[in-house]
A and B are shown apart, each in its own frame.
Chain A
Amino acid sequence: MDIVFAFVLLVLAGSLVLLFAMMGALASRVPDPARPADRSQSVRSLEQARLGHSPAVWPPGLSRLASADKSLLLVLSTACGSCVDVAKQLSADVTRDRAGDIAVVVSCADRDAGEDFVHRHGLKAVAHLVDEGGTWVKSEFDVMMSPTGLVFHDGRLESALMFADLDALRTAAFHVDDDLSPQPRQEKRLAIG
């Protein structure tokens, strides 16, 4: 009798895992309101950025970028409308476990506003730095535009890209080609994330 109970329990646990897997698959297929279809896919280089530069000292929240083979740092600002949209895209990716190796610098007038931005958009799970007045990102990389994606290779700034769509930025930054076709938009994002 005990063994029957044990295997019934196993079947129930397996069903729960199956349900979780199906929920995950379903979540990836529902259209994302945070990703409107008309969002610009263009990614442009930011010419004035200090390419090749590597900060002598990384802030504690971003220290892992120094040793990462290739990483992406988003420069967002509390004062820019499209940064809110980017923060929502990133937040949705975090929810789906798709954020990948990404970090955020929140440029803000004061620390409270920056912390509030991070909290409001659920970015606490992402490595982040609240940069008062944007001083760090300006002094290190000469970047004063947001949203901007800074691509690092072994801790050195490889490129600075202005963007609106996080997927488009990832594709441009990492050059990942997805040869599966046809795939819905959300499925394609999986390959890039």
Chain B
Amino acid sequence: MTLMTMQWTLVVINALAASVLVTAGLAKMVSPDQLLRALRELLPGQRLLTVGTVRLIAVVEIGTGCALLASPTRTTAAVLAAALGTCFASLGVAGWLRQSRVSCGCLGGDGDAPLGSTSLVLGLALMAVLPVNDLVSLPAAQGAGYSRSAAIVASLGLILLSSMLKRNLALHLLRPDARRTPGNGVS
């Protein structure tokens, strides 16, 4: 693989990871209740599980996502992303073992799958960010270029991911008969 290809691979992987982390973080900031329910199903009686805890996780996710896009902080952020990925994968395994049925709200889609295989796959994908960042070195002169490209790719990723997650709501609002018919609204 040429140096250029490796650097673009790094940009795309980090930007995609950042898109997932920022989308998940923003969703949890707005409505933390769904993840809270899913976590309480797995860990009943755990007093540390509060809305504040979920919002703290959301802040860490958003911070990690943004830090992945900046050249000086990307390696530290990759460690954090891998740590978050480990947590998600562990929760996925726990949800799978406990046959969790409560939608996890991890990415903000109300119909998110319960903690299980999806969380495990997402967690493993985030864990992969660390070895990729360790393997690919970035010349100092290309730091600004990396940040610029990663920010643009991440912006695209954010919009695409969000559109995909909220497609039913968006399609419903765009459907002409939905606007005309009372009782068949978004509510």
Query: Which residues of A are interface residues toward B (Cβ below 8 A)?
Result: 2-3, 6-7, 9-10, 12-14, 16-18, 20-25, 27-28, 30-34, 69, 88, 91-92, 94-100, 122, 125, 174, 176, 178-180, 183, 187, 190-191, 193
Contacts and interface: CB of A to CB of B under 8 A. Distances in A.
Given A2-B148, A3-B148, A10-B155, A28 B23 contact: no
B25 to A, nearest CB: 10
Interface in B131-187: 144, 147-149, 151-152, 154-156, 158-159, 161-163, 165-166, 168-169, 172, 182-187
Contacts of B103: 98, 100, 190-191, 193
A12 B154 CA distance: 11
Given A6-B151, A18-B30, A191-B102, A97 B110 contact: yes
B73 interface: no
15 contacts: A7-B151, A10-B151, A10-B152, A13-B159, A14-B22, A14-B158, A21-B26, A21-B30, A88-B184, A95-B186, A96-B168, A96-B186, A125-B168, A179-B44, A190-B34
Contacts of A96: 110-111, 168-169, 186
Nearest to A3: B148
Contacts of B29: 21
B130 interface: no
A10 B152 CA distance: 7
Chain A binding site: helix, strand, loop or mixed by DSSP? helix
A12 B152 CA distance: 11
B158 A17 contact: yes
Given A9-B152, A96-B169, A190-B33, 15 more contacts: A3-B144, A13-B155, A13-B156, A16-B158, A17-B23, A22-B30, A34-B187, A88-B183, A95-B186, A98-B103, A99-B111, A100-B111, A125-B168, A183-B33, A190-B37
Given A17-B26, A24-B169, A190-B110, A31 B187 contact: yes
Contacts of A12: 155
B148 A178 contact: no
B155 A9 contact: yes
Nearest to B173: A23
Contacts of A180: 33, 36-37, 40
A96 B109 CA distance: 8
B108 A92 contact: no
